[in-house]
Structure 1
Amino acid sequence: MNVFACVACAQVDFPRRLLCPSCGRDEFVEVDAAQGSVEDVTTLHHRAGKAGGDIAYIATVLTHAGPRVIVRLERLLAPGAVVSLRLESDGAIVGFSD
């Protein structure tokens, strides 16, 4: 998974912006953000469009590259846990611990 750093001022954001919110430039480089730390977790007991009692865990993760991302956890993890991140083909970000 990648985040985006402004070439001019090094501001790192996710998702990619058209213009840097810090300096207004429009040139970015991709920065690896394959890991991060769980900050907060929410348990979803009912998901729209899903039948049955599927439980999903959604977390805010502070990536080691800087930006925070919202991810789906493969299992319940406590705040502070280090997770690896991957981008799924549908655009969802999944966090998992090794």
Structure 2
Amino acid sequence: MNLDVTQCTQCGLTLFPARYFCPSCGSNAWTRCTVESGTVMESTVVRHRAGERDSPPIYLATVRTDAGPVVVARLNAAVPDGSAVRLEVHDDQCIVAVAV
């Protein structure tokens, strides 16, 4: 599944998640844009979770999409900051970034 962001048809501001009104111009007219890739801004790893022993690490990153908005995504493995990634939305509505 693809990641969709919204773009104001009046002023062009692109946002994620969707909003009712544009914070820049106040318009309520939006168009959806599909985002397929972005760049890792920062990443981290969660090694321990409450109540779970020996759980596998979870890699997370803030990703600036090619359309502009920043999203938090799950990584399949550790990647360096600045890496190009492909963005997907899985069935559980989790945004996943895959290194290109």
TM-score, length of structure 1 as denominator length: 0.92
Secondary structure at the aligned position of 2:20 is classed as coil
Per-residue deviation at 1:52? 2.3
Task: For 1:15 and 1:49, locate their aligned partners in 2 and report how far apart those are by CA, in whole Å.
Answer: 31
- Within the candidate set 49, 68, 71, 2:70 is matched to 68
Are the structure 2 counterparts of residues 48 and 91 from structure 1 closer, same or farther at C-alpha, using a change threshold of 3 Å?
farther
Task: For 1:45 and 1:37, locate their aligned partners in 2 and report how far apart those are by CA, in whole Å.
Answer: 23
- Within the candidate set 9, 12, 26, 2:11 is matched to 9
Q: Which residue of 1 aligns with 2:38?
A: 36
Are the structure 2 counterparts of residues 96 and 50 from structure 1 closer, same or farther at C-alpha, using a change threshold of 3 Å?
farther
Residues 43-58 of structure 1: matches in 2 within 5 Å? 43-48=45-50, 50-58=52-60
Superposed CA deviations along residues 47-68 of structure 1, whole A, max 9, x for unmatched, are 3565423101110000001000
Structure 1, unaligned runs of 5 or more = none
Q: Which residue of 2 aligns with 1:97?
A: 99
Aligned residues: percent identity? 36
Q: CA RMSD in A?
A: 1.3
TM-score, length of structure 2 as denominator length: 0.90
How many corresponding residue pairs? 98
